Structure 1
Amino acid sequence: MNNPLDRRIVITGVGLVSPNADNPVEFRRKLLHGISEIQEIDLRYFGKAAAGLCTFPETKHRKNKENKRGTRAGCIGVYCAHEALVNAGIEISSCDPARIGVYIGLTEHGTVETENEVFNISRYNYDTNYWTHHHNPRTVLNNPAGEITMSLGITGPHYSIGAACAAGNAALIQAAQMIRLGEVDMALAGGVSESVGSFGIFASFKAQNALAEATDPRRASRPFDLGRNGIVISEGGCIYVIESMDRALARNARILGEIVGYAMNSDARDFVLPYGPRQAECMRLALRRAGLRPEDVDLINTHATGTRQGDIEECKAIREVFRDSASTYVNNTKSNIGHAMGAAGVLELAGNLPSFDDHLVHPTINIDELDPECSLPNLVVNTPVDAGSISVILNNSFGMVGINSALIVKKFEP
Structure 2
Amino acid sequence: MHNNTQRIVITGIGLTAPNASSLSEYREKLINGQSEITEINLRYFGKAPAGLCTFPETKYRKKKENKKGTRAGCISVYCAHEALADAGLDLSSVDRSKIGVYIGLTEHGTVETENEVYNIRQYDYNTSYWTHHHNPRTVLNNPAGEITLSLDITGPHYSIGAACAAGNASIIQAVQMMKLGEVEMALAGGISESTGSFGIFASFQAQNALAVADDPRRASKPFDLDRNGIVISEGGCVYVLEYLDKAVARGAKIYGEVVGYAMNSDARDFVLPYGPRQAECMRLALQRANLNPEDIDLINTHATGTKQGDIEECKAIREVFSGSQKTYINNTKSIIGHAMGAAGVLELAGNLPSFTDNMIHPTINVDNLDPECALPNLVLNKAIEVDSINTILNNSFGMVGINSTVIVKKV
> What TM-score comes out, normalization by structure 2 length?
0.99
CA contact (8 A) 2:188 2:241 kept: yes
Instruction: Give the Cα separation in 2 of the matches to 1:384 and 1:315.
Output: 20
Identify the residue that residue 296 of structure 1 maps to in structure 2: 295
Identify the residue that residue 305 of structure 1 maps to in structure 2: 304
CA contact (8 A) 2:164 2:397 kept: yes
Give the Å deviation of 1:246: 1.4
Instruction: Give the Cα separation in 2 of the matches to 1:148 and 1:179.
Output: 19
Identify the residue that residue 378 of structure 1 maps to in structure 2: 377
Moved more, 92-101 or 372-381: 92-101
Deviation string for 1:224-255 (max 9, x for gaps)? 00000000000000000001111111211111
Q: Secondary structure at the match of 1:4?
A: coil
Instruction: Give the Cα separation in 1 of the matches to 2:244 and 2:369.
Output: 41
1:152-163 map, 5 Å: 152-163=151-162
Q: What's the C-alpha RMSD, in Å, of the aligned pairs?
A: 0.7
Give the Å deviation of 1:362: 0.2
Percent identical residues: 77
Q: Secondary structure at the match of 1:264?
A: strand
Give the Å deviation of 1:94: 1.3
The alignment status of 1:180 with 2:179, answered yes or no, reads yes
The alignment status of 1:242 with 2:232, answered yes or no, reads no
1:54-133 map, 5 Å: 54-133=53-132
Identify the residue that residue 278 of structure 1 maps to in structure 2: 277
The one-letter code sitting in structure 1 at the alignment partner of 2:55 is F
Give the Å deviation of 1:351: 0.3
1:21-36 map, 5 Å: 21-36=20-35
The one-letter code sitting in structure 2 at the alignment partner of 1:275 is Y
Instruction: Give the Cα separation in 2 of the matches to 1:360 and 1:155.
Output: 39
CA contact (8 A) 2:2 2:180 kept: no
Give the Å deviation of 1:12: 0.3
Instruction: Give the Cα separation in 1 of the matches to 2:328 and 2:237.
Output: 24
Q: Secondary structure at the match of 1:5?
A: coil
Instruction: Give the Cα separation in 2 of the matches to 1:4 and 1:93.
Output: 24
Instruction: Give the Cα separation in 1 of the matches to 2:98 and 2:196.
Output: 34
Identify the residue that residue 390 of structure 1 maps to in structure 2: 389
> What TM-score comes out, normalization by structure 1 length?
0.99
Give the Å deviation of 1:88: 0.2
Give the Å deviation of 1:3: 6.4
1:196-211 map, 5 Å: 196-211=195-210
Structure 2: 5+ residue stretches without partners: none
Check 1:3–1:159 CA distance in 2 against 1; reply closer, same or farther (3 A cut): closer
Q: Secondary structure at the match of 2:323?
A: coil
The one-letter code sitting in structure 1 at the alignment partner of 2:246 is R
Deviation string for 1:38-81 (max 9, x for gaps)? 00111011000000000000000010000000000000000000
The alignment status of 1:194 with 2:193, answered yes or no, reads yes
Instruction: Give the Cα separation in 2 of the matches to 1:387 and 1:110.
Output: 43
Give the Å deviation of 1:6: 1.4
1:249-268 map, 5 Å: 249-268=248-267
The one-letter code sitting in structure 2 at the alignment partner of 1:187 is A
CA contact (8 A) 2:165 2:404 kept: yes
Instruction: Give the Cα separation in 1 of the matches to 2:190 and 2:3.
Output: 26
Q: Secondary structure at the match of 1:26?
A: helix
CA contact (8 A) 2:211 2:220 kept: yes
Structure 1 stretches of 4+ with a deviation exceeding 6 A read none
Identify the residue that residue 224 of structure 2 maps to in structure 1: 225
The one-letter code sitting in structure 2 at the alignment partner of 1:315 is C
The alignment status of 1:369 with 2:390, answered yes or no, reads no
Q: Secondary structure at the match of 1:284?
A: helix
Identify the residue that residue 169 of structure 2 maps to in structure 1: 170
Instruction: Give the Cα separation in 1 of the matches to 2:109 and 2:397.
Output: 22
Identify the residue that residue 146 of structure 1 maps to in structure 2: 145
Identify the residue that residue 337 of structure 1 maps to in structure 2: 336
CA contact (8 A) 2:188 2:240 kept: yes
